[in-house]
Amino acid sequence: MEKNAAVNAEAVDVDGAAVGEAALPQKKQRKPINQQKLQDNLWGWIFCLPLIVGTVWFVFICLVAAILLSFTDYSVMDGSMFGFLGEMGEHIYTTSEGVVEPFHWYTYAFTHTIKISPAIEMNEMGVYLFNTVFYMIGIPIGMILAMFFAVCMTRDIPGANVFRVIYYFPCVASTVSIVYTFRLMFNQEGVINQLFGLNINWINTTGAASLTWNSLTGGSSTSAFMIDPFWCQGFFSKLVIIIMSVWKGLGGTIILYIAGLSGVNAATKEAAQIDGANGWQIFWKVTMPDLYPTIFYNIVTAVIGGMQIYAEPELLKAQDPMLSGYVALIWATGMNDITARPSQGAAYGMILAVMIILLTLVQFYLDSKNKD
């Protein structure tokens, strides 16, 4: 009996030791370091470092600086561009009566008017913003044309790859060369007028009398719309810029649509054909839903790019309220010469940033409603 008790006690001791060992936290085994993976990660960060530094410095830091700058009365004559940061309080906009107005330039943007002609006076920001919005008419035109050409190029036709390359050429061409080519084409003695038998002064670059609706139609109305070149000469000049912008951006959009069309489900198209759907029905019911992400991406990026149009109007006719976009106003007020005020240009830039953000948010909201 004593022997059995000793055996049981020994068993209890063994079980207790086992339970105690199980209760102790197990040490995590260190995974061996993969030297090749570590080296790949290191080289990856090295290659990304210039982009990270550039983004932080030229985007985030400059954005914060621009926001702070927009509440000041800082000018180029006051010193270095970032000199105001050390003495921010001294540069806050103050009127001659000593009233502190940190939002002065924002109020100024919505109240300051200019004469675009002896008969018409308009809000300065509104004039340049109107030009920018007018140029965005080319976005839906470009989208429709790009879709048409992309569908044609996905067909089994000879030389499709050659056409893809040809249509992409304008994307890699210099904007300066494209603008001056279009200026020659739409000159009063240019190929467009000769081809269609017209005598329209599309772009007034010679100092001659600007085109008005009265002079074009032979009318004698005294209304500001009929006698002011802003509405007639400006219309034809803006039309040239729209045509040029659509032609220049067509190639990149076509490439994206071709890539999207290659991802359309072939089995679904085949099933629709078996069920008796015609080509138009297949395009709207099968192709378009699969292509929607590409369409949405193109629209969002096109709107953002369209709101920032600058080079084409300025190269066609520099600093002309009749043609210049909103970005040209930012340059003219903030950086044009030594008398410019970066604070004013920064405020105008923040207004543009807010408008672009709101437009983008609206597009994403409509996209979410469409998915629902």
Q: Read out DSSP for 160-197?
A: HHHHHHHHHHHHHS-HHHHHHHHHHHTSTTSHHHHHHT
How far CA 28 is from CA of 25, 31, 147, 309, in Å, comes to 9, 9, 57, 58
Q: Quick one: average pLDDT of 43-62?
A: 91
Q: Quick one: average pLDDT of 237-254?
A: 92
Using the predicted structure, report yes or no on whether residue 229 has a pLDDT greater than 70. yes
User: Predicted confidence band at 28 (pLDDT cuts at 50, 70, 90)?
Assistant: low
Contact 323, 316 (CB under 8 A): yes
Could you read off the pLDDT of 324-343 as tens digits, one per residue? Answer: 999 999 998 888 777 778 88
Q: Quick one: average pLDDT of 63-79?
A: 80
**Cβ–Cβ contacts within 10 Å for residue 173, how many?**
13
pLDDT at site 268: 83
Using the predicted structure, report yes or no on whether residue 86 has a pLDDT greater than 70. no
Tokens 């040209």 -> residue: 328
Q: Quick one: average pLDDT of 85-98?
A: 70
Three-state secondary structure call for residue 207: coil
134 Cα distance to chain centroid: 16
Contact 291, 264 (CB under 8 A): yes
Q: Which residues contact 361 (CB under 8 A, 6 or more apart)?
A: none
Query: Please, what is the average pLDDT of the chain?
Result: 83
Three-state secondary structure call for residue 340: coil
Say which range, 24-33, 238-247, 273-282, 291-300, has the weakest mean pLDDT: 24-33
pLDDT at site 352: 95
Could you read off the pLDDT of 286-315 as tens digits, one per residue? Answer: 888 888 999 999 999 999 999 999 999 999
Using the predicted structure, report yes or no on whether residue 140 has a pLDDT greater than 70. yes
Q: Write down all domains in the chain, each with its CATH number in brackets.
A: 108-371 (1.10.3720.10)
User: Predicted confidence band at 218 (pLDDT cuts at 50, 70, 90)?
Assistant: confident
Q: Which residues contact 167 (CB under 8 A, 6 or more apart)?
A: 149, 250, 251, 254
- CA separation for the pair 11, 7 (Å, rounded): 6
User: Predicted confidence band at 201 (pLDDT cuts at 50, 70, 90)?
Assistant: confident
How far CA 270 is from CA of 60, 273, 275, 286, 287, in Å, comes to 50, 5, 9, 10, 12
Q: Quick one: average pLDDT of 46-59?
A: 91
How far CA 231 is from CA of 124, 130, 286, in Å, comes to 16, 12, 43
Higher pLDDT, 48 or 371: 48
Contact 94, 100 (CB under 8 A): yes
